Amino acid sequence: MAIITISRQLASLGDEIGLKISQKLGYKFFGKKELEKRIVSLGFPASKLSKFDEKKIGFFAGLTRIRDEYLNYLITAILEAAAENNCVIVGRGSFIILKDLENHISCRFIADEQLRTERLSRELNCDSKCARKKITESEMQQRSFHKGFFNFDVNAPEMFDLIANTSKVDADSIADSVISLTKSYVTPERDAEGQKKLDELLIGQRIVDILVFIYNLNIEFLRASMDGKKISLHGIADSKKTLDAALTIVEAELPGYEIESHISIARDFNRR
């Protein structure tokens, strides 16, 4: 019926509310552990997850190929989770990756800083100074993660269908509000449109994965967008030879599709 994504501040009860929603609706739940398992199972080294997973991106990490690889694995993991439908996905930019789906409901949970400090202090059994420091670090890392990977301000409200302050409303009531919104908004027609768009996103991401991971082509920031039977490629290639190879591969993988290239060529390109 629907895909629900959750963005949340640390100690705003976002994960708890997501779990309540999934339990009440009988939906699958994809939190940090579940998404990490998917990313690693797809081939991303578990030892490198800590560099990128909703963290501030270091300067050198942001320039290397591993950054692009992490993003591709992340997008694939989230799209595959969403393809199971009837699911709740927490964090990792999922609300941005799935923003164009008609059967997607995006939520953001916040809370008063003092209350979050008290909650985290109890959870970690630490003093308020320690809790406030962790909250500050978390907010900085979230901002960096969303800006670095998606060029998006996570605190901007326009991407969310529902924003709730858990300082004022209890988790069960918020979960019920999300469920009510989901049932009223996601009609069978919107669900069908969402599934159609998700199929297109999966095809586009499959092409990216083939070019990057199977053929190891030197194209940075590679993305593929779909519009019916047309696929558009975006990125920066190291040479015309690489660009031509990419187009040949896509033609073989998607016979009958119109292919449009927006890939630019960097003359002094060196894969880092």
Residue-wise pLDDT tens digits, 70-80 = 999 999 999 99
* 215-265 shares the fold of 3-191: no
Question: Residue 111 — pLDDT band, cuts 50, 70, 90?
Answer: very high
| pLDDT for 59 | 43
Contact 7, 160 (CB under 8 A): yes
| pLDDT for 55 | 54
* CA 18 to chain centroid: 16
Who contacts 248 (Cβ-Cβ below 8 Å, separation ≥6)? none
| pLDDT for 266 | 83
Cα of first residue to Cα of last residue in the chain, in angstroms, is 43
Strand-pair partners of 105: 4
Neighbours of 121 (CB within 10 A): 18
Assess whether pLDDT exceeds 90 at residue 172. Answer: yes
Only one residue has tokens 């630019």, namely 264
* CA 91 to chain centroid: 7
171 vs 173: CA distance, rounded Å: 6
Please state, rounded to an integer, the average pLDDT across all residues of the chain: 91
| Token digits of residue 152 | 């998006």
Q: Where are the domains of the chain?
A: 3-191, 215-265
82 vs 77: CA distance, rounded Å: 9
251 vs 245: CA distance, rounded Å: 10
Q: Taking the domain 215-265, which CATH number applies?
A: 3.30.70
Query: Which amino acid, one-letter code, is at 64?
Result: T
Only one residue has tokens 């290397």, namely 64
Neighbours of 220 (CB within 10 A): 18
Assess whether pLDDT exceeds 70 at residue 63. Answer: no
In the sheet with 258-265, reading across from the earlier edge strand, the strands are 219-227, 230-237, 258-265
| pLDDT for 272 | 47
Antiparallel, parallel or unpaired: β 3-8 and 104-110 = parallel
* 65-83 and 188-209 helices, crossing angle to 10°: 150
3-191 is a CATH 3.40.50.300 domain: yes
Residue pLDDT, tens place only, 196-207: 999 999 999 999
Lowest-pLDDT choice from 65-74, 125-134, 218-227, 262-271: 262-271
| Token digits of residue 172 | 């069960």
